[in-house]
Amino acid sequence: MTDNDLRKSQRDDEDAAAAVVVLTLLASQTPDAPEATEPTAWGDPAHRLRLMPGPSATAWWSSGLPR
């Protein structure tokens, strides 16, 4: 084994050790949980499906109006 081969094998061992350290650190970190937000109208299925709102106090009156 030449001197160059010995340095290459030591360098490979150091590279593998560094990769193990980096992967271990990445695996041990817990992901940050996103903060819970208030639901918006955009997430409401009625908004997505363009459903009309439920009947109101004046629904009987407005139902007779022309569309």
Mean pLDDT of 25-44: 78
Average pLDDT, the chain: 77
DSSP conformation letters of 25-43: HHHHSPPPPPPP----GGG
Overall average pLDDT of the 31-42 stretch: 76
pLDDT at 3: 67
Q: Mention every residue, 6+ apart, whose C-beta is less than 8 A from residue 48.
A: 42
- At residue 58, the pLDDT reads 75
Q: What local confidence, expressed as pLDDT, does residue 24 receive?
A: 92
pLDDT digits (tens, 9 = 90+) for 51-66: 666 677 777 777 677 7
Helices of type H across 1-67: 3-28, 45-49, 59-62
Quick one: pLDDT at residue 50?
Answer: 67
